Homo-oligomer: A and B are copies of this chain.
């Protein structure tokens, strides 16, 4: 049996309006913290910091609690929940943001419950970098800090993003964001540039093509898991981050090898997320589901390395 450390997740809890090739879906419960928390809860106890409006469904909070996710840090504020609207191309790879309404997040000043302040693992999900920093400062000496961000903040809040980069262990972004952040097209040069700005490690997500880890050992490539039925890619990146920090929270030490195995667990976790609209699948995924998919993912790599 492994013991696992607790994970603190800050991010958005939201309603998403999705235009998918399979049809339009309105008022889908989403948000980076929601997806990441469901994913991480397969591995370790999770504590969530976010704000929701009057309109956020109680049943989602109940479902989270039933997975061992503490929602003591989820504030319910008067007003509307954060809302994102997006349209996916028919290939389910490219997407366009149609609308972002911060709503109750506009005036959110997270105040961590005292019981949260010693959490060793910290996931700064995709949200305003000032909020990420605010939470980071309220946690006493975290062992490991993983952060996500997006084009919206890279463009609009470059100083806060830069300050955040100096304070974290590992940044996780997609390839477009890595190019935007670094100003470099070549992915290896982009990685070098970003690593020079603070984080010890960088993970570049490439959607269906998997993800790359850049660290002191070099580069590791996690494959994309080719699924026959991709329904909704929303939240896959958040589920990836949740799966990664979840796996790490179960390890005695955060070594390069643990990171590499974490990348594969993260891939397995995220692969469930896209199989249904919203959080429908990720909210019920189990550690056993992940273990089974991990076997399939390892087969993608099987070339008899030991006898080659």
Contact = CB atoms under 8 A, between A and B. Distances in A.
Contacts of A92: 185
A95 interface: no
A163 B212 CA distance: 39
B226 A212 contact: yes
A227 to B, nearest CB: 7
A188 interface: yes
Interface in A197-211: 206, 208-210
Interface stretch (A10-18, A56-64, A115-123, A217-225): A217-225
A179 to B, nearest CB: 8
The oligomer's copy count stands at: 2
A221 B300 contact: yes
B219 A221 contact: no
A21 B81 CA distance: 45
Given A185-B91, A209-B209, A221-B223, A303 B261 contact: yes
Interface residues of A, number: 39
Nearest to A227: B188
Contact of A208 (B187, B229, B264): B187
Contacts of A1: none
A247 to B, nearest CB: 12
A90 interface: yes
B219 A226 contact: yes
A304 B209 contact: no
Interface string A21-43: 00000000000000000000000
Given A209-B209, A261-B308, A189 B300 contact: no
A91 B179 CA distance: 10
Nearest to A230: B186
Interface of A: 90-92, 185-189, 206, 208-210, 212, 218-221, 223-224, 226-230, 257, 260-261, 263-264, 298-306, 308
18 contacts: A90-B185, A92-B185, A186-B228, A186-B229, A187-B226, A188-B228, A209-B209, A212-B226, A218-B299, A219-B226, A219-B299, A219-B300, A220-B300, A220-B303, A257-B303, A264-B303, A301-B305, A306-B306
